[in-house]
Amino acid sequence: MSREIEELQAALRQFAQERGWGPFHTPKNLAAALSVEASELLEHFQWLTDEQSRQLTDEQRQAVGHEIADVLLYLLQLSDKLGIDPLEAARQKMEINAVNYPADRQRGGIRKNT
């Protein structure tokens, strides 16, 4: 586990505790809130062309940064509640993806090996 992530999780735990949010922060509710924030992130891109999405203005980039933060903050809180190490889970998933998406079958697409 990364020390910086553990520090963020500890700060989030204290933040929620000071506000009495324990009863609201069930894993189910945190998963819903995370998906809502992910859609707010997508909202910034929904009418942009691919090219525009590569060249955000400073204002767009800052707004997108706040949404990325919101998604990450809920992800860290959910992981914390469930006792899941998100970085370790990500590393394991990359190994699974290496099997599921063989490099030599990807030309011209994103193709899962089913």
Q: Rule CB under 8 A: which of 6-65 touch its own copies?
A: 8, 11-12, 15, 18-21, 24, 26-29, 31-50, 53-54, 56, 61, 64-65
With contact defined as beta carbons under 8 Å apart, do 67 and 74 qualify?
A: no
Residue with tokens 């989030």: 12
CA distance 5 to 14: 14
| Among the listed residues 10, 22, 66, 100, the single contact to its own copies using CB under 8 A | 66
Binding mask 74-113 for its own copies (x = CB under 8 A): -xx-xx-xx-x-xx-xxxxxx-xxx--x-x--xxxxx---
CA distance 16 to 77: 10
